Homo-oligomer: A and B are copies of this chain.
Amino acid sequence: MTSDSSPESSNDAARVYDGVRRGIVEGDFLPGSRLVEQRLAEKFECSRTPVREAVRRLESEGLVVVERNRGARVRPLTEHEIADLYDVRARLEGYAASLAASRHEHADLVVLRRALDRFERATDAGLRSRDDRAVVRELDAANAEFHEALLTMSRHTRIRSLVHSAVDAPLVFQALQHFEPGELERSATFHRLIADAVTAREPERAERLMVEHVLQGRDTLLAGLSAFDDVADLFAGRRG
């Protein structure tokens, strides 16, 4: 689930936005840590102006919190908030899936199938070596492509940004899901079922399957979190 702005965006603000966002998602900026404008400006070799813009955008997307005159920090998340976000996400993506089933055009199906295949290949690789960073990154990218394809097919101008508001913040924990045994296969299965329901233009089934898929992901993640309470503490911003 990456943003619309491609990483090689020519303007500085978008470049900083992509960089900081990736830094947050991949764990280089830990939750609770401060994002000082001057520091980021030096890191990305530009002035504070585009940095400000990037940070404010991240704020409006819920990845960082800024307090007036006190600056920005990476938003810490409690287990409770993660669960809530996944519940909203389930509803939003479920709705998107039902729209996709109703509204898709033939060309969309090609894109969807390609995303499906990519995810299955990534799954195979992931089953062999799930601690290879490149493999994990490919898994996440393939997963994002599948979900993005459905958002596009829904023909709903705004739903993409709405889904991102719910999805992006918990993305920090994404990696945890891949370590749960069976989760990769489960995801692949659901992706296929969802694609089938959408292809057959069955909105209700597509919605139900998507809701269940997302809730599965929620539970896997929460299970992984409580298995690593110290990690949970870390991500909640309670530095030790």
Interface size class of A (residues with CB under 8 A): 20 to 34
Of the candidates B11, B56, B91, B158, which one forms a contact with A166 in the assembled complex, judged by CB atoms under 8 Å apart? B158
Whether the Cβ atoms of B158 and A85 lie closer than 8 Å is yes
Shortest beta-carbon distance from A171 to chain B in Å = 14
A131 within 8 A of B: no
Per the 8 Å Cβ criterion, residues 142-162 of A in contact with B are 156-159, 161-162
A201 within 8 A of partner (CB):
no
A57 at the interface (CB under 8 A from B): yes
A87 contact set on B, CB distance < 8 A? 95
| Residue in B60, B92, B157 whose beta carbon sits within 8 Å of that of A60 in the complex | B60
Contact of A84 among B53, B81, B91, B157 (CB under 8 A): B157
Q: Is A133 an interface residue (CB 8 A)?
A: no
A125 at the interface (CB under 8 A from B): no
Q: Render A72-96 as a binary contact track against B, CB cut-off 8 A, 1 for contact.
A: 0000000001001101100110010
A68 at the interface (CB under 8 A from B): yes
Given A91-B91, A92-B88, A95-B91, are A158 and B162 also a contact pair (CB < 8 Å)?
Answer: no
Between A and B, 8 residue pairs with Cβ closer than 8 Å are A49-B49, A60-B60, A84-B158, A88-B162, A91-B92, A158-B166, A161-B165, A165-B165
CB-based closest 6 A-B pairs: A60-B60, A84-B156, A162-B165, A81-B157, A91-B91, A91-B95
